[in-house]
Structure 1
C-alpha cells in the first residue's frame, strides 16, 4: 500500500527507522515503535523486514550510503592504494575527533560494554559490525575485480582493516602527544600496503 506521496510502506519504514537511529544511535528499533513512526502496521513492517536484524541491516546500509556517497573506490584515474585509503578515511571522518570522538565512544561504552550483555544489545552491536565489514569488503571486491588486489580472502582482509579503523577511532578520542593526522596516515598506509601486497 502507498500513500498519496507515492512513498512505499517499505521506504516509510526505512525513513522512520533511520530517523530514530539518527536521534539515538543506541536505539533498539523495536518493531512497534518503528511501525508507529512510519504510519504502517506491524504486519506491513514484518512483510518487508521479517526480522529485527533484517531491519537493522537495511537501516545501517542506508545510513552508510548517505554518509559516504559516491565512493572514490570506482575512480580508476587514481591508484588503488589512494582510493582505498580515501574510503577508509571517510569512515574515520564519520567517527569524529576530540570531543566528538569521545562522545561517540562514550555512547558505545554505555550502550554495549558497561551493561550486562543481552541478546538485544548483542544483536544491535553485531549489526553495526556487519555493516562496517560489508562496506570494507565491498571496496576490496572492487579492487579484486580490477586486478589491483591479489587473490585471497577479502572477508579476512576486511576484518583486519575494520580492526585498524576501530583502533584509530579510539586514538582520536584519547589525548596524544603526536599529531593524530600524521600517526593516522602512517598507520593507514601501512595497513593498506599490507592488504594490497599480501595473499591472506
Structure 2
C-alpha cells in the first residue's frame, strides 16, 4: 500500500475508533489525513472502497498466519490455531445482541453490513490460503479447497454462535470441535 493510501486508511480508522457509529465522510477523512478530497478520491473512488480498505487492514492485523508454514508443528495443530483466531471474543450476551443488531438487525446500516461482509470475505480468503499452503506441503490431499474452506467456516460460525449464546468460556471444547473438523480435512 502506498504511503498516501496508508495515511488515508489510518485516518479513517482513527475516526472510526473515536466513534464507530459515525459514517466516514470524504471531508472528515481527508482533513484527518491531511490531504484534499480529490486526493482521497484518487485512492478511493467510492466510499465502499474506502470502507473495504479500512476493514481489510483491521482484519489483516488481527488474523495472522501464525505457524501455518512451520513444518515442525503438526498441520492439524497449525490449522486449528489459525482458525481459532476467527472466533469472536468472549463478551456478555447483551453486548452481542447490540453488535448483531448493528450488523443485520433493524439498526443496521450500509456501513455495518459492509464491515460484516468484508470480514466474511476476508475470512474465506484467509482459510482458502491456509488450506492451499497445507495442500502444497502435502498435508491436505488435492481437492476442492473452496468447499473445504466453507466447511471449516461453517464450523467456526457455529462455534461463534454458541459462544455468543452461552456467555461462558468453553474454549477447550471449541478447540476440540475445530480439531475434529480439521482432522477430517488434513491428511497427516
- The alignment's TM-score, normalised by the length of structure 1, stands at 0.76
Task: Name 1:156's counterpart in structure 2.
Answer: 147
- Post-superposition shift, 1:128? 2.0
Asked if 1:39 is matched to 2:30, the reply is no
Q: What 5-or-longer segments of structure 1 have no aligned partner? A: 1-6
Task: Name 1:15's counterpart in structure 2.
Answer: 10
Partner residue of 2:116 out of 125, 128, 140 = 125
SS across alignment from 2:166: coil
User: C-alpha offsets along residues 32-71 of structure 1, whole Å, 9 cap, x if unaligned?
Assistant: 4322322222221222223333333332332233224462
SS across alignment from 2:139: coil
RMSD between superposed Cα atoms in Å: 2.8
Asked if 1:184 is matched to 2:174, the reply is yes
State whether residues 102 and 173 of structure 1, in contact with CA within 8 Å, keep that contact through their aligned partners in structure 2: no
Range moving further from structure 2, 65-74 or 138-147: 65-74
- Post-superposition shift, 1:83? 0.3
Distance 1:113 1:34, change over 3 A: same
Q: What 5-or-longer segments of structure 2 have no aligned partner? A: none
- Post-superposition shift, 1:21? 4.0
Task: Name 1:3's counterpart in structure 2.
Answer: none
User: C-alpha offsets along residues 104-140 of structure 1, whole Å, 9 cap, x if unaligned?
Assistant: x334322122227765554333222111212222211
Distance 1:144 1:70, change over 3 A: closer
Task: Name 2:186's counterpart in structure 1.
Answer: 196
SS across alignment from 2:184: helix
Task: Name 2:52's counterpart in structure 1.
Answer: 57
Alignment: residue pair count: 186
- Post-superposition shift, 1:192? 0.9
Task: Name 1:106's counterpart in structure 2.
Answer: 97
SS across alignment from 1:72: coil
- Post-superposition shift, 1:86? 0.5
Q: What is the distance in 2 between the residues matched to 1:120 and 1:66?
A: 20
Task: Name 2:78's counterpart in structure 1.
Answer: 83
Asked if 1:142 is matched to 2:139, the reply is no
Range moving further from structure 2, 128-137 or 13-22: 13-22
- The alignment's TM-score, normalised by the length of structure 2, stands at 0.81
